[in-house]
Every structure is written in structure tokens, then in C-alpha cells.
Amino acid sequence: MSVFAVHRAAVFAAGCAVVLAACSTGADTPSSGAPRASGNAEGVLDVPPFDTVQTTGLSGSEHDRLLGAVIDAQNRLYGAGWVASGADQMMAVARFRSNGRLDPGYGNGGVATVNVAPGGKAVELARGIVVQSGGKVVVSGPIEHDPTASGDAAKDTDIALVRFDQNGKLDATFGTGGIVKLDLSTGVADGTAYRGDTTWGLTGLANDKLAVIGAQVGVGEGRKDHDFAVVRLNADGTRDASFGSAGVAVVGIGPGVSETPKNAVELPDGRLVVTGYANVDGIVKVVLFRLTPQGALDPTFGTGGVTVAQLLGNVAESYGVALAGNRLVTTGYGKDTADAKVDLITGGFTLDGRLDPTFGTNGIVRIDVAGEDDRGRHIVGLPNGGAVLVGSGKPTGNNLDAMVVKLTPAGLVDTTFGTNGWRLFDIGGPNDAFFGVAVSPDKSRVAVVGYMGRDTAGSEKDDSAVLWLKP
């Protein structure tokens, strides 16, 4: 993989002058919304601009962020996220051509938006994204159940999926006018917390079916905790009655234990491995479970279909899971004690759900950039059995940079990649991060999406960011 071409941290300044093909300042993107194109030393544009972070304001003068990524058969990148509309937020999808530029033929100048719950606040956003056959794009995320409500009722949340056609318009053949809403449970207050339906990931399955990775309030009198809830939908957005109970598979570790859903990966045989985390006996632990194609727990995985793994002494959260060679690999973050900083944590598991001691150090890869907080947000497997994971690293106490980590097929950090297997990208703000990553169907490129996080006290707004890499 070639060296990256955007970084402003002082520790890499000499490297930028000596080894990089191009260095960008991370300056603001022009108001036109076109991503910044970076050239090589001779000023010739790279197509696509591999190893160069491009920023683009999807919403002009408002905040916007990209959180999920997928690449279609034409090597076009779709990024899912949100754009602000005053105090409200809207789901957004941006399409980038294979050369890295926004596609003006999609949506409005390359960006399609929809406000599923008008009048809401900061709940509505898109994280999950899937390209179905025919080029239709489905995104998913949480929304306000009733944007007009007040008090605790205003905190209740549902799950929404939206499908756009090939031109970035709402597809009326999906759900109701292009939108599917899932109200799985009634939200409840639990002390200072409020729990409604929520979701993080969306997985495309065979025959264009969809698996929504979410959570609902646990079933049973007095329950105030979350259970995992995986909803399988048919291609048109209707619930798949052949899966779980009326299309929903509910998995709980136990009453009183609140699970947090993140992402899933479909195995070649159609079984689905889901990850997230839960606080069990005062320690936050990684959770994996495997479902059969019928939505039942697979008893050949973990204990009765579920693995609960304590990777560190105090916290270990899992945000993403990928199939990398003959392993399942997760990424997230954690720490040993309550007052410690968090490190980026990657866990390696056997295909039957056991922590793999041959992966990393006793099953774990741990990255601490500079004694500050570092986090993993998503992961994809590479064709050679390795993996790329994305997130954020903190080189100083007041600056958060986007980060990419590369793992070898043996489950070790790839020391030929950046600094001991990782690279930081100062996109231009004090709170930069990558959240989504995808491998193209032809395996020729990896796309990463995230955002330039601005100073919240300033007048500038967050902008979305895209990075293209060679696998």
C-alpha cells in the first residue's frame, strides 16, 4: 500500500517532505461541495486520489458527517451519514465516482437526503448502507419516534430504512414512499438513561434481503434493559416471516443486562455473525453471536450460540466484525481500569466463537498512539486474509486524528504500513475520525469515510471526509 498524502501532525512533518507524493494542508473545501483534489509532485491528478483524504461539505454551511461506506460494481463509493438542517438532522447518502469526485448526476449535486422525522433533533442519522442489485441503495439508522412529543416521550426512538433509486431519488417501491419504519418496543426510562429502539449496522444478504442490526427493550414485565434485535427484511422492505419471530430474532444475555448492537458479517454459508457489547457483572465485554439462516441461535458457536469475551479488565467494546481468512476479527476500544485512557482493541476469534490465542498477543491487538484515547470503529477483511480497520487516534491531549490500521493475515499489525501498522490523518479539525470502510467488489480498492470534526465553539462546521486506499 502506498504512503498516505495528508497529515499535518508535527511528528510526521519530515516524512511529508521526504517520502510523500503530495501533502495537503487540510484547508476548507470550496463552497461548491466538490471534494478537494490532490495531485502528485508534478501537479498531475491521481485518478482516483489514492492515499489522499478529500473533504467535502455535503450541506453547504451546515454540519455533515459520513459514517458508513459501500462500493458498487462500478467502483462508485456511497457514503451514508447525516446533514444538519438547523437543529434537526436528515439522513444523507453521497455518491462518489471512481475518480473520487462527487457524482453530480446523483441526488442534488451528488448528495441525496431525506428527513424521516421532521422536527426532530440530533437522533436521526444513517450508519448502515447496502447496495442492492440494480444499483438501489438502502440506508438505515435511528429516528425520533414522535418529534412533537415532550418529556421522556420525546426520547423514544425507532428504526428507519430508506431506499434511493439509481438517481438518488426516493424509491416508492420500497416500504411506504421509499421509507420503512420499525417500532419494535416502547421506550422506557431507566434512571438517567432512556432506552428505545436503536440500530447501528445494516448487512446485505442473498436475494437482496437485509439484516438490520439493532436493539429493543427487553421483553418481560418491568424490563428496562436492551436486548439485541436482528430484523430481516425482504428486498422490498417487508418483514421476512421465515426469519426468527415475524422477521425478528431477539437475543439477550440475561434480564438486567443491556446489550449495545453494532455490526454483522454474513458467512459464505448464510449464517450471520453479529457483534456488540454488554456490561456484565460490572465489566463491559465483547459480545458475538451467530444466527442460522432461519434466525435461530447456532449452538455450534460459543456457548449456545453466544460468545461473551472479557478482553480487558474494565472495558472492551466491539464496533465491527469481519471475516479475515479463517478468523472472525472485531475492533473497538477498551481499558484495564476505570480511570485509564482507552486503547484501540482488535480481537481475533475462531470460526466457532473462541478467542484465538494465535492472533496478536493472546488473541488481542492493542494500539496506544500516545497515552491518550484511541478507538476502533469498523473493520473489513482483505483478499489476502488480512484486515483494515478504521477509527481515531489521539497524538496529543487536545487533538483527535482519523486513523487507519492494517493487519497481516497472521493477525499481527503490518509493520510495513505507517508507524507500526497504523497511520494518523489530521484532516484539519481537532476532532477528526473515520467511521466507515469498504472493499470494492473487484478487490482493487478500499474506501474509508468519516469527517473533519470542527471546534464546537467556533463558527465552522463539520465536513465529511473520504479516503481511498489500495488493498
Helix H or strand E segment including 447:
strand 446-452
User: Residue 13 phi/psi, 5° resolution?
Assistant: -60, -45
Nearest 10 degrees: CA dihedral of 175, 75, 61, 435?
A: 80
pLDDT confidence of residue 23: 29
Cα distances from 121 to residues 189, 351, 405, in angstroms, run: 19, 41, 34
Q: Which CATH class is domain 63-94+101-454?
A: mainly beta
Cell of 337: 481500569
Helix H or strand E segment including 284:
strand 283-291
CB 60 within 8 Å of CB 31: yes
pTM: 0.90
Q: What is the mean pLDDT of each run of 10 residues along the chain (471 residues)?
A: 31 26 30 35 51 90 95 96 94 94 96 97 96 96 96 94 98 98 95 93 97 95 94 98 98 92 97 98 97 98 98 98 97 98 98 97 96 98 97 96 96 91 95 97 95 80 95 84
Give the whole-angstrom CA distance, residue 247 versus residue 430: 43
pLDDT confidence of residue 420: 86
Nearest 10 degrees: CA dihedral of 467, 263, 311, 328?
A: -80
Give the whole-angstrom CA distance, residue 86 versus residue 61: 10
Nearest to 304 by CA among 285, 293, 284, 290: 290
Angle at 230 (CA atoms; ends 228, 233), nearest 5 degrees: 160
Domain ranges of the chain: 63-94+101-454
Cell of 71: 462500493
Nearest to 470 by CA among 395, 382, 401: 382
Rg (CA), the chain: 21
C-beta atoms surrounding 137 within 10 Å: 23
Can you say how many angstroms the Cα of residue 296 is from the centroid of all Cα atoms in its chain?
25
Q: Strand 188-190 vs strand 226-233: parallel, antiparallel, or unpaired?
A: unpaired
Give the whole-angstrom CA distance, residue 467 versus residue 69: 11
Helix, strand, coil percent values for the chain (each to nearest 5)? 5, 45, 50
pLDDT confidence of residue 217: 95
Nearest to 343 by CA among 289, 388, 283, 403: 403
Across the strands, what pairs with 379?
389
Give the whole-angstrom CA distance, residue 453 versus residue 232: 34
Give the whole-angstrom CA distance, residue 67 versus residue 408: 25
